[in-house]
Amino acid sequence: MLARSFAVWLAILPLAIVNGVLREALLESGFGLLRGLPVRQVLAAYTFTDGNLWRLVLVTTLVAPAIAWRRI
């Protein structure tokens, strides 16, 4: 049962990441560029400056199932 749940999670994870990447790229970056913001300023949203934790969210999403599995 645990193996099947993990397999389903592995199948859904790439879809969720692709969904988030496309949404971010098309909506936030696209709107930023349409508003006339420079590309450098739009891409600054993906760094750790000013407390931005987006990369940490991605790493946590990747590692969390393995940590949870070890605790069961």
**Which of 22, 9, 1, 4 shows the shortest CA–CA distance to 61?**
9
The pTM assigned to this predicted structure is: 0.41
Chain centre to alpha carbon of residue 43: 15
Which three-class secondary structure state does DSSP give residue 18? helix
pLDDT digits (tens, 9 = 90+) for 12-71: 888 888 888 877 777 767 777 788 888 888 777 777 777 777 778 888 888 888 888 887
Alpha carbons 38 and 50: distance in angstroms, whole number:
18
| pLDDT for 40 | 85
Helices (H) and strands (E) in the chain, counts: 4, 0
Q: Dihedral through CA 49, CA 55, CA 59, CA 64, nearest 10?
A: 90
